[in-house]
Amino acid sequence: MADLDREKMDEALNEETDQETKAAGETVDTEEDTETSDDAQSSDDSQDADCEEEDTEASGDASEGKKKSRLFSKKEKKKDKKDQQIEDLTDRLMRQMAEFDNFRKRTEKEKSQMFDNGAGDIIEKILPVIDDMERGLAALSDEEKETSFAKGMEMIYKKFVGILTNAGVTPIDAAGKEFDPNYHNAVMQSPSEDVESGYVVQELQKGYMYKDKVLRHSMVIVAE
């Protein structure tokens, strides 16, 4: 009987020990789970804090970038305004230079035209003198042409014609040429066997040109 009682007591003690061991193990597991959850929470909190810091830094960088871009845009606006002023002034200067150059060319052309018109008027008034000298020399006989007076008149005539030629005066070639109303002035028509119809038979008065301007048309007779 005593042995049975001891066995029962040993079994009861063993059961109590097993229960205490299980309880202790559960407590340790609970504490570990708690510590793990705390560590996870703290890591999540630290990650959130890092994210917030990164977001704060990113926002700060973005704001600084905006400020810099505003400053650069202001500088560019100021630079563009100066460049625009320079371009406007350069354009005005180029226009004024072009206008002045056109004015200079126009003035020179007007002066040249005025000079040519004045010279043409003077030469046109001298042409009758040339006509008279030519008629006088043509009326001389062969004996009279050998006199010193006739030779002197011929030298003056040639010198006069040379001066006019150097000034740009040239006679219009009319005899035997086709009639051209731009250069010839027909006073009459005459039948001719030697000259075709519409061609100049005879030149009655010599015509002259000054450069590209007709000073006097040739007075001619045209074949019928």
Over residues 32-79, the pLDDT tens digits come to 444 444 444 545 555 554 555 555 555 555 556 555 555 555 555 555
Examine the pLDDT at 90 and tell me if it is beyond 60. Answer: yes
- The helix (H) or strand (E) run that includes residue 195 is none
**CA atoms within 13 A of residue 94's CA, in its CB half-sphere:** 6
* Structure confidence by residue, pLDDT tens digits, 117-157: 888 888 989 999 999 999 999 898 888 888 998 999 999 99
Check residue 111 and give its pLDDT. 87
Q: With DSSP H G I counted as helix, E B as strand and the rest as coil, what are the percentages for the chain, rounded to 5?
A: 70, 15, 15
pTM listed for this prediction = 0.53
Binned at pLDDT 50, 70 and 90, residue 104 comes out as: very high
pLDDT band at 22 (very low <50, low <70, confident <90, very high): low
**One-letter amino acid of 92:** R
Is the pLDDT assigned to residue 12 strictly greater than 70?
no
Domains, the chain, in order of start with CATH, read: 170-224 (2.30.22.10)
Residue (of 183, 174, 172, 179) closest to 222 by Cα position: 179
